[in-house]
Amino acid sequence: MSPFAAYGLYYDLIYRDKDYPAESEFVHALIRDYAPEALSVLDLGCGTGQHAIHFVKRGYSVVGVDRSEEMLAAAERRAANLAAGERADLSFCAGDIRNVRLERTFDVVVALFHVMSYQTGNDDIAAAFTTARAHLREGGLFIFDCWYGPGVLADPPQTRVKRFKTDGGSDVIRLSEPSLHPNANTVDIAFTLLVDEADSRRCEQIEETHTMRYLFAPEIELFARAAGFDVVSRSQWLNRQEPDLSCWNACFVARAL
């Protein structure tokens, strides 16, 4: 089952403050630096399509892949608002990034918003790297971000509560309760969503647990090399500084050999 089976219905509400334009511009700048002729992008774990749509608006032809039917449905609804020319450069399909094969190659593969950290086992991570390499031409780029191990251990995750309100006036409360597993380099996040429907007396409770893998630069280099990549850049997410103990989210650029 997708880890976003029910949670995905409220995904865009929960992350409505996420700066997709700035994130897409950051990745676009990396592409311009390391593969300035790139025209096509494969978005692995595309979610509701927000990064993909911003890439299309920057002139790329984009294919988005996700295993959540709920997320893909939201992506298709969002894409319907694009101009006809842009819509022709964007498509979505269902698939697991560990084994999907589209029988074509791209200039760039991206996996954004911690998609690689959802690959919790060594075999999962290796398979995701293999998928990326299988869809890249020689010299193409694999750009991804992940939970950065040194930052996670220096500042462990805490229980958090956030409140939201839907356009229809319903109240949504999200409780996030993490459990750190240092010997597995993972964190289980138990999400509880409480949805108070504005037009009824019904209160819905949704519970899902998402397991995240935090990663370290040496193991990323090892996985990358085994799949046929050379890591050419690592930085903090949304800036070009070297990742450090204050950094929870790191970005890596790997070139297909």
- At 48-57, the pLDDT tens digits run 999 999 999 9
pLDDT at 173: 94
pLDDT tens-place string over residues 204-225? 898 999 999 999 999 999 999 9
The two three-digit tokens of residue 48, written as one number: 């509701």
0.85 exceeded by pTM: yes
* pLDDT score of 32: 98
Q: What percent of the chain lies above the pLDDT cut of 70?
A: 96
Q: Three-state SS string across 119-158, please?
A: CCCHHHHHHHHHHHHHCEEEEEEEEEEEEEHHHHHHCCCC
Q: What is the dihedral of CA 24, 29, 31, 35, to 10 degrees?
A: 160
The angle at the Cα of 254, spanning 252 to 257, to the nearest 5 degrees, equals 170
CA distances from 230 to 52, 129, 142, 222 (A): 25, 12, 10, 10
For 47-83, the pLDDT digits (tens) are 999 999 999 999 999 999 999 999 999 999 999 999 9
Sign of CA dihedral 237, 238, 240, 246: negative
pLDDT of 98 over the 80 cut? yes
- List the domains of the chain with CATH numbers: 7-148+215-256 (3.40.50.150), 152-213 (2.20.25.110)
Contact 101, 128 (CB under 8 A): no
pLDDT on residue 224 = 98
